[in-house]
Amino acid sequence: MKPDYPNTQLFIDGVWRDAAAQNSLDVVDPSTETVIGAVAKAATSDLEDAAQAAQRGFDIWRDMSPLERSKIMRRAAGILRERAEPIAALMTREQGKPLEQSRIEILAAGDMIDWFAEEGRRTYGQIIPARQSGVMQVAVKHPIGPVAAFTPWNFPINQAVRKLSAALAAGCSIIVKAPEETPASPAELIRAFADAGVPAGVIGLVYGEPAHISEYLIAHPVIRKVSFTGSTPVGKHLASLSGAHMKPATMELGGHAPVLIAEDADLDRAVSQMVAHKFRNAGQVCIAPTRFLVHDAVYDRFVSGFVAAAQALKVGNGFDEDSQIGPLANDRRIPMIEELLQDAVANGATITSGGKRIGKKGWFFEPTVVTNAAVTSRIMNEEPFGPVAVINRYADLDAMIQEANRLDYGLAAYAYASAQSTIQRMVQDVAAGMLSVNHVGLSLPELPFGGIRDSGYGTEGGSDAISAYLDTHFATIHV
C-alpha cells in the first residue's frame, strides 16, 4: 500500500524545521508524475546555522570516546532496521524502485553503520622508534573536522549512509545535502541517528539549490572535508572548489562499466547475474554493467540469452509485488536515454530489444539491449544511467581489454572466464577501481568502494574510508 508522504524539513542543531524563508521544492512520484509532497529549500541563513551547529556538534562528538560513539551508532542501526518497512515505502514512493529493493537498501544501511561503528574503535596511531634515547615519537589520529557531504537520488539512503557512518565513526560532525528528488527516506536515516542519541549539531541535513549549498559550505571555514557522489562533471567542479579552499575531498563519480565475457565463460551464470545487475534500480547505478565485451565464439549465445532474460523482466510500479524494475527516477533520464539510442542507431547500432518508453504517465522504460554499437557513438562513451546494455563482439582478450580501458572512467568492471591465466590477465590489466570476476561481489561495508581516473578518488568502504576523515598529528617528545 502506498504510504502517506510527508513534507521533509531541514534538520539543524538537533531541530527539524522549515527553511528560513519558508521556501520549498515539489517532490514528484516517478510512477505517476504527480506531486506528492514538498521539501524545504534552505536559504543562506539556514546553511550558516547548519555550519555553526556542525562546529558545536564536532566539539562534543570529537571528545566522546570511540566506544560511546560506537554504541550510539549501533543503536541507530537497530532503529533503522525496526523502521525498515515504513521507510522502504517512502523510498519506493519518491524514487520508484521496487519495494523489495528499498527494503534491501535499508537493511544494508544497518550493516554499514554497524561495521563502521566497530571500525571507528580501531583508528590506531603509531609509536615510532626514535634514533635517540629519551625521545618518544607518537603519531595519533584526530577527526578532521566538520564534513560537507553531497549525496544523489539513485540510492537515497545508501549513498548517504556511507559518508555518515565513516565520518561519525572517525569522530567528525557532518552536514548532508541529500537529494531534493528523494528527500524523505534519507531524512528518516538521519532521524534514526537523532533518536539513537547523536547530540545536536553532530548531524545536519539540508536540501535546496545544490550549487548554492555546495558553494557556500565548501568555502565555509568550519568545513574541513568534502565528500560527493554524483556525475563526473559536477564532481570535477566540486573537486576544484575544494582544492581552492584546501579541503580534502572524496569523489565517487560516474562509470561505464565493462563486462568481459571470455570464450570459456559460464554463460548461464553470466547472463543471469548480469541481467539482474544491469537492470537493478532501472540501471541508475554508478557500478551498473554497461559495455558488454563478448568473445566472438560465444557472442550469439550470450546475446540471445541476455535478450530473453531482459524481456522476461516485469516493469511496473514499485508497489506492485511482481515489479522487478520501477520507473526512472526523474524526468531528465528518458530524454537522455532516447538521445543516446537515436545516436547509436544513426551510427549503425541495432536495438535488439526494448528501446522505448512504456505508457505516457510515469517514467517507465523498456529494458533495452543495443548490439553492434560503434565505438565512436555516444552510448559507448557516455554513462547511460538507465536500463540499457550495449553488447559488442571482440576477436580476443587483447581487444576486450583494450576496449575496457579505452574510456577515462574507471569505476567498476566485471568479467566471466574459466582459465586461470585469463582471469589473472584481467585482474592485472583491467583499469578499474573494482573488478568482480565470475560473480557480483561489490559494495559490502568492509570492501574498498571507489574509482580511478574520471570516476573519482578516495574509497567509501573498508578501513581506508575512515582514514579520509582523520588527520595524522605527530609529536616528538624528549623526556
Q: Where in the sequence numbering do the catalytic residues fall?
A: 252, 286
| 214 in contact with ligand NAD (CB under 6 A) | yes
| The only residue of 84, 217, 234, 407 in contact with ligand NAD, by rule CB under 6 A | 234
Which range, of 77-85, 126-134, 223-231, 350-358, touches ligand NAD by CB under 6 A? 223-231
The answer to whether 331 and 31 are in contact (CB under 8 A) is no
d(CA 328, CA 315): 11
Of residues 122, 131, 126, 181, the one with CA closest to residue 152? 181
Residue the block writes with cell 589520529: 141
Q: Which CB atom, from 260 or from 286, has the smaller least distance to ligand NAD?
A: 286
Q: Which of residues 162-201 bind ligand NAD (CB under 6 A)?
A: 179
Q: Which CB atom, from 70 or from 281, has the smaller least distance to ligand NAD?
A: 281
Q: Which CB atom, from 226 or from 294, has the smaller least distance to ligand NAD?
A: 226
What letter would DSSP give residue 357?
E
d(CA 341, CA 123): 48
Q: Which CB atom, from 114 or from 252, has the smaller least distance to ligand NAD?
A: 252
Which range, of 123-131, 246-254, 317-325, 342-350, touches ligand NAD by CB under 6 A? 246-254
| 252 in contact with ligand NAD (CB under 6 A) | yes
CB of 432 to ligand NAD, least distance (A): 14
| 210 in contact with ligand NAD (CB under 6 A) | yes
Q: Which three cell numbers stand for residue 127?
A: 609509536
Q: Which CB atom, from 186 or from 305, has the smaller least distance to ligand NAD?
A: 186
State the binding string over 324-363 for ligand NAD (x if CB under 6 A, else -).
Answer: --------x-------------------------------
CB of 231 to ligand NAD, least distance (A): 3
| 105 in contact with ligand NAD (CB under 6 A) | no
| 473 in contact with ligand NAD (CB under 6 A) | no
| The only residue of 230, 258, 289, 305 in contact with ligand NAD, by rule CB under 6 A | 230
| The only residue of 21, 211, 276, 477 in contact with ligand NAD, by rule CB under 6 A | 211
| 227 in contact with ligand NAD (CB under 6 A) | no
CB of 232 to ligand NAD, least distance (A): 7
CB of 74 to ligand NAD, least distance (A): 26
Instruction: Find all residues with CB under 8 Å of 173, minimum gap 6, and list them.
Output: 54, 55, 57, 58, 61, 145, 146, 147, 167, 201, 202, 203, 204
User: CA dihedral in degrees (229, 232, 236, 238; nearest 10)?
Assistant: -30
Q: Could you tell me the sign of the dihedral formed by the alpha carbons of 174, 180, 184, 186, in that order?
A: negative
d(CA 100, CA 200): 33
Amino acid at 155: F
**At CA 111, angle to CA 110 and CA 112, rounded to 5?**
90
d(CA 289, CA 291): 6
Q: Helix axis angle, 420-429 relative to 397-404, nearest 10°?
A: 30
| 152 in contact with ligand NAD (CB under 6 A) | yes
Contacts with ligand NAD: how many residues (CB under 6 A)? 20
272: number of Cβ within 10 Å:
14
Beta bridge partners of 228: 150, 251
Which range, of 150-158, 200-208, 314-322, 434-442, touches ligand NAD by CB under 6 A? 150-158
d(CA 203, CA 224): 15
| The only residue of 8, 31, 123, 154 in contact with ligand NAD, by rule CB under 6 A | 154
CB of 370 to ligand NAD, least distance (A): 17
Q: Which CB atom, from 169 or from 213, has the smaller least distance to ligand NAD?
A: 213
Overall residue count recorded for the chain in this entry:
479
The answer to whether 266 and 418 are in contact (CB under 8 A) is yes
Q: Could you tell me the sign of the dihedral formed by the alpha carbons of 347, 356, 32, 289, in that order?
A: negative
CB of 451 to ligand NAD, least distance (A): 9
| 253 in contact with ligand NAD (CB under 6 A) | yes
Beta bridge partners of 174: 147, 203
| The only residue of 61, 153, 306, 416 in contact with ligand NAD, by rule CB under 6 A | 153
From the CA atom positions of the chain, what is the Rg in Å?
23
Contact residues for ligand NAD (CB under 6 A)? 150, 152-154, 179, 210-211, 214, 229-231, 234, 238, 252-254, 286, 332, 383, 385
